[in-house]
Amino acid sequence: MSNVKIRLLEPKDDKALASLIRSVLVEMGVPKVGTAYEDESLNRMYDTYNYSGMRYYVVEEKGEIVGGAGIAPLQGETSDYICELQKMYFLPVTRGKGIGYKMIQTCLSYAKEQGYTKCYLETMPYMQAARKLYQKVGFVSLEKPIGNTGHYSCQAWMIKEL
């Protein structure tokens, strides 16, 4: 893990990141419709997250992007104080090394700095390792989604007080 660094997304990362996210979604058997797979923003992540209150981080190892995650305001939510942990995906070689935990801490630290008081996320019920990690950092399950992410195929929702 000594060669791994978390850094801010740069414009040059867009193509590699879009490919990484889509490959992980396919690996996990996530539907292509109603999930991040079909988000138009995947092809222009730098532009998507280049706004106030939004930030995306990538994990880089030996010059290659091996994961990423971001924070943005929760779409469709009337409160300005709820953000969403978005597009957190890692290649298999990266998993199980504590990098996901560090990434979540990095994202939540940024969210707190921005004045968010809650962080929401959506995932799939069968993604047990991810859900276990989210619970470890204090996310709790919700019975139904909040906001309007457009990810209607995601059937597990969680939130955390910041």
Q: Share the mean pLDDT of the chain.
A: 88
Structure pTM? 0.90
What residues contact residue 118 under an 8 Å CB cut-off, 6+ apart?
A: 79, 81, 82, 83, 159, 160, 161, 162
pLDDT in tens, 104-125: 999 999 999 999 999 999 988 8
Residue 103 pLDDT > 60: yes
pLDDT for the residue 27: 87
Quick one: pLDDT band at residue 67, thresholds 50, 70, 90? very high
The arithmetic mean of pLDDT across residues 59-82, rounded, is: 90
pLDDT band at 65; cut points 50, 70, 90: very high
